Amino acid sequence: MRKRTILLSLIVIFAVEITALLLFMFQNADILQDAVQVNEIVHLVQSDWNKMENHRNLTELEYVVLDRMGEVVFRSREGLSESINEAVIHRDTMMDIYEGDLSVGKVIIYNDSPHAVVVWKQRVMIVLLAAIILQGGICIGYMFYLNRRIVKPFHKLKGFAERIAGGNLDIPLEMDRDNLFGAFTESFDMMRSELKKARLAEAKANADKKELTARLSHDIKTPVASIKAASEVGAALTDSERQKDNYTQIIRKADQINALIMNLFTATLEELKQLPVTPVELKSGELEILLENADYLHRASVSGIPECLIYADRLRLQQVFDNIFANSYKYADTEIIILTDISDGYLRVSIEDYGGGVKEEELPHLKEKFRRGNNSGNVEGAGLGLYISDYFMREMKGELDVRNGKKGLKVTLLLSMYGGGNHI
């Protein structure tokens, strides 16, 4: 309905513009004199000829009266043609004044058609200009409407797709129910929710596999240790070189089995190498956009960010901020304060909530894989956010520091400044 109204308004304004232009183009510059008033002037002048000092103009036209010698005996106002030559040049109307059959003078009736045409054209131009301004205003307003209702939602979808591609499934897609794409974006957010459930199930399965690997490793290492110990005792007690060689072989195989078990452990720690990090030169001003994207509940206040160049991967840094804010939302659920400063070749970004923090003995373990604080309760999570963020920061030649602040948990990012030498 709104689109139809705007389209109809533009069509009406366009029709008014075309009409004004046609009138402007084809308007005749000559406006005919009013013959009735001309005859009335001649009649009045002839009636008052012998008493012109008492003559009064009773019409809407302006005129000058000349006697037979060309002298002015009456003028309705100043600035009119006062001679035959001036009247011819100005294309005024000239009428003879008679007494009987004798011509005694002339009436020069002012031709105001040029002035009337100018006034008329000015009015047409005003109408045309007003229509153009109104049309431009409607177009600009509609452009802003399209930008707000269509372009911006698509930009949000682009950023949302980048996050999904980067593996971040915690930040929901903001939706406007009045938006043309409301249902469309809701489908995308449902996809994110389902992917997040699948990712959590995958993380749980990986954790279960890790736990199973740990149990099997323990179960295997115990008998292997017993076999190795018995073999060492047997090798020490026997006098047969052949038996000593057999025991030595058993001991070596036991050590090999232990090495394989340790390799099995360390293999689970190599998964992050599949996530590429490509740091480039970024302006510090871009951090404000990244922080606003991560703060989707609008709970943070950001102080002025110092202007400098940093060495970072924009997508991975966005994931780091997303993980930190998501943790704060889930576990603290308070306002967030962000402070920035430059120190020792790093741009420091400190993010602190008011949730009271965690126990001091838990702090060293928060960046470990599958580790979560005791305050996590029944809140869903895989214990990977800070672990992945720490990996990304190290790959960008920066640091991630987690400690208890004055009000709550305080996470500080040390972003390497470009040209500061830290990334070389």
* Residues 51, 142 within the same domain: no
Residue 319 CA to residue 389 CA, distance in Å, equals 7
The range of the structural domain enclosing residue 189 comes to 182-274
* Residues 71, 161 within the same domain: no
Q: 141 falls in which pLDDT band (50, 70, 90)?
A: confident
Within a domain: residue 173? no
pLDDT number for residue 339: 93
* CB within 8 Å of 363: residues ≥ 6 apart: 402, 403, 404
Within a domain: residue 362? yes
* Residues 78, 202 within the same domain: no
* 305, two tokens: 């960010």
Which of 251, 274, 297 marks a domain boundary? Answer: 274
Could you tell me which residue, 117 or 58, shows the higher pLDDT? 58
* Residues 72, 140 within the same domain: no
Within a domain: residue 339? yes
CATH value at residue 335: 3.30.565.10
* 344, two tokens: 């020792």
CA dihedral 365, 369, 370, 371 (to 10 degrees): 10
Query: Tens of pLDDT along 296-315?
Result: 788 888 878 999 999 999 98
Q: Kindly provide the b/e burial profile for residues 101-123, where b requires at least 16 CB atoms within 10 angstroms of the residue's own CB.
A: eeeebbbbbbbbeeeeeeeeeee
Residue 161 CA to residue 395 CA, distance in Å, equals 23
pLDDT number for residue 370: 65
* Residues 81, 220 within the same domain: no
Could you tell me which residue, 107 or 239, shows the higher pLDDT? 107
Residue 424 has pLDDT above 50, yes or no: no
DSSP three-state, residue 422: coil
- The total domain count for the chain is 4
Query: Tens of pLDDT along 248-281?
Result: 888 877 776 765 665 555 455 555 555 688 999 9
Which of 68, 93, 110 marks a domain boundary? Answer: 110
Within a domain: residue 407? yes
* Residues 357, 211 within the same domain: no
Query: Tens of pLDDT along 144-153?
Result: 777 777 677 6
Which of 238, 255, 274 marks a domain boundary? Answer: 274
* Residues 285, 401 within the same domain: yes
Query: Tens of pLDDT along 338-350?
Result: 999 998 899 999 9
Sign of CA dihedral 158, 159, 161, 166: positive
Q: Where are the beta strands (DSSP E) in 303-408?
A: 309-312, 336-343, 346-353, 399-404
* Residues 298, 349 within the same domain: yes
Q: Which of 17-31, 234-248, 311-325 has the highest mean pLDDT?
A: 311-325
Within a domain: residue 189? yes
DSSP three-state, residue 71: coil
* Residues 147, 7 within the same domain: yes
Within a domain: residue 424? no
* Residues 304, 387 within the same domain: yes
Within a domain: residue 160? yes
* Residues 161, 26 within the same domain: yes
Residue 365 CA to residue 324 CA, distance in Å, equals 16
Within a domain: residue 423? no
* Residues 11, 159 within the same domain: yes
